[in-house]
């Protein structure tokens, strides 16, 4: 197999895999959902293994796909997110009657869109991936037709996502007019100083479109409603995969910006970061829906990453690259276990529904509590190391006030994460309620979350050394 073919194999596997799942479901009407689930899991894992084995710098499609190590890195993370999300769907989807070919086929295509976004070296490829990701998520959010809230969430995400896509494509058109090229890595090089105002206007529209996917304040208003209405494993996939993909491309774009553009962007990113951290954490305090609380938490986590992005020119992307997979593990674990607790048609969502579950389900609640404490940044979890590296990069980049705001908002977040743990372990059980017995693959997913959250917290050098060896 030639190296060029190897480089594009993850895209081929996910694209053909999604189509094959659709065909299998259409041609074999009695196809068991377990077979479709197994095929989707195998395809996501295969794409991830190819990403892992492909050497950094391997060329794929010249001028289309980024050949450096960052493309492989984000591709591996996104394939892992898709695989773990499929593991969480093993029990959840069949119980609710939507575990057919449309679920697993669309999920694989969504993963393909995410990888195209993160690895794009051409604005056309990026936009194709962005739209494939968006359309797939519209479907996945509303896929549980037995729940009205899911349809409402899908409609909200569709309307606001369409507006965000309009901002994005308009910004791309302006940027093409200013630079005369669709190549992401050459656009700023070809920028005529006379076209700088147009380029800044273009980047403002692009940033607005990307901020919607990242739940950056003030583009975050869709997040709590959509997270609450979507099925829990879909929310896990949405809250991690789309954000990792978009933050990957945003980091690459900003690293390549010239000083004339960067000096204008830094104050804007500084303000967006501070607002997102403050609004996300304060809003979470007032929410007694666990999904909505995690939605505001997700916005706050993006604020922390924006904080590192402000200093990315001085300190490089290492802190961002380290924190993104940690964030994915934490959020996947929290939403995945929330879904595993949900027997019947609706997710167990209100905080009072978790009273005393730590005594009756210690294994599950232990992993969930660990994920929440890691999101809060408490040692010895991976979240503590990730936040430490972010604050270190911000201070070294010369932004002490922003670091102080970050520390204060992190202190606020400890309360609402710890409150869930209090309900789990320090409250009497509300009533005798039915909790779905976990399947084998649910336990496998929880074990992976547990090992990575503690492993990267106690021994972060393995991930740090991998990032340092990677060519950006």
Q: Look up residue 352 and give its DSSP letter.
A: G
Residue ranges for the chain with pLDDT beneath 70: 1-4, 55-63, 67-68, 187-190, 343-345, 429-434, 436, 470-472
Which pLDDT belongs to residue 189?
64
Rg of the chain over Cα atoms, rounded to whole angstroms, equals: 21
pLDDT tens string 19-49: 999 999 888 887 888 899 999 999 999 999 9
Cα separation of the two ends of the chain:
25
Task: State CA 107 to chain mean position distance.
Answer: 14
Number of continuous H segments (helices) and E segments (strands) in the chain: 20, 0
pLDDT tens string 70-81: 888 999 999 999
Which pLDDT belongs to residue 173?
92
Host domain of residue 32: 3-469
Q: Look up residue 439 and give its DSSP letter.
A: P
Which pLDDT belongs to residue 298?
94
Which pLDDT belongs to residue 126?
93
Which pLDDT belongs to residue 299?
94
Which pLDDT belongs to residue 200?
87
Cβ atoms of residues 293 and 284 within 8 Å: yes
Cβ atoms of residues 108 and 17 within 8 Å: yes
pLDDT tens string 258-311: 888 888 889 999 999 999 999 999 999 988 899 999 999 999 999 999 999 999
Given CA atoms 143, 149, 154, 155 in this order, what sign does their dihedral have?
A: positive
Total count of domains within the chain = 1
Which pLDDT belongs to residue 240?
95
Burial of 24 (0-12, 13-18, 19+ CB in 10 A): middle
Q: Look up residue 381 and give its DSSP letter.
A: S
Alpha-carbon gap, residue 405 to 386, rounded angstroms = 17
Distances (CA, A) of 337 to 88, 329, 369, 431: 8, 12, 10, 20
Cβ atoms of residues 368 and 337 within 8 Å: yes
Cβ atoms of residues 350 and 419 within 8 Å: no
Query: How many CA atoms within 13 Å lie on the side-chain side of 231?
Result: 32
């Amino acid at each position: 197999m030639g190296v060029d073919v190897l480089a594009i194999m993850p895209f081929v596997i996910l694209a053909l895999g999604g189509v094959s799942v659709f065909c299998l479901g259409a041609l074999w009407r009695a196809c068991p959902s377990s077979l479709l689930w197994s095929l989707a899991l195998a395809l996501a894992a295969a794409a991830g293994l190819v990403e892992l084995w492909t050497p950094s710098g391997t060329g794929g499609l010249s001028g289309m796909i980024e050949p450096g190590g960052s493309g492989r890195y984000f591709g591996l993370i996104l394939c892992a997110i898709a695989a773990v999300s499929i593991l969480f769907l093993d029990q959840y989807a069949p119980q609710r009657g939507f575990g057919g070919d449309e679920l697993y086929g669309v999920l694989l295509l969504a993963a393909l869109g995410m990888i195209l976004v993160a690895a794009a070296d051409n604005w056309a490829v990026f936009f194709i991936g962005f739209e494939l990701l968006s359309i797939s998520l519209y479907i996945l959010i509303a896929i549980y037709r037995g729940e009205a809230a899911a349809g409402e969430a899908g409609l909200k995400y569709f309307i606001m996502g369409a507006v965000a896509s309009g901002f994005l494509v308009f910004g791309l058109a302006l940027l093409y007019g200013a630079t005369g090229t669709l190549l992401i890595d050459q656009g700023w090089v070809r920028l005529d100083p006379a076209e700088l105002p147009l380029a800044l206007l273009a980047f403002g529209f692009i940033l607005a479109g990307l901020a919607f996917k990242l739940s950056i304040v003030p583009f975050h208003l869709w997040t709590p409603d959509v997270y609450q209405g979507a099925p829990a494993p879909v929310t896990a996939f949405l809250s991690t995969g789309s954000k990792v993909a978009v933050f990957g491309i945003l980091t690459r774009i900003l690293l390549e910006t010239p000083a004339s553009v960067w000096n204008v962007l830094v104050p804007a990113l500084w303000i967006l970061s501070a607002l997102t951290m403050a609004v996300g954490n304060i809003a979470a305090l007032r929410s007694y829906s666990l999904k909505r609380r995690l939605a505001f938490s997700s916005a706050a986590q993006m604020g922390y990453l924006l904080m590192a992005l402000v200093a990315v020119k001085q300190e490089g992307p290492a802190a961002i690259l380290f924190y993104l997979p940690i964030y994915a593990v934490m959020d996947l674990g929290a939403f995945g276990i929330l879904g595993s607790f949900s027997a019947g048609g609706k997710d167990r969502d209100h905080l009072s529904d978790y009273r005393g579950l730590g005594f009756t389900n210690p294994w599950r609640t232990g992993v969930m509590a660990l994920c929440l404490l890691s999101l809060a940044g408490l040692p010895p979890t991976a979240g503590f190391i990730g936040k430490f590296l972010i604050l270190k990069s911000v201070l070294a980049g010369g932004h002490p006030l922003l670091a102080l705001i970050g520390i204060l908002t992190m202190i606020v977040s400890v309360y609402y994460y710890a409150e869930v743990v209090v309900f789990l372990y320090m409250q009497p059980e509300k009533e005798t309620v039915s909790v779905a017995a976990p399947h084998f693959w649910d336990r496998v997913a929880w074990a992976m979350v547990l090992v990575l959250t503690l492993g990267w917290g106690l021994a972060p050098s393995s991930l740090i050394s991998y990032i340092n060896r990677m060519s950006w």
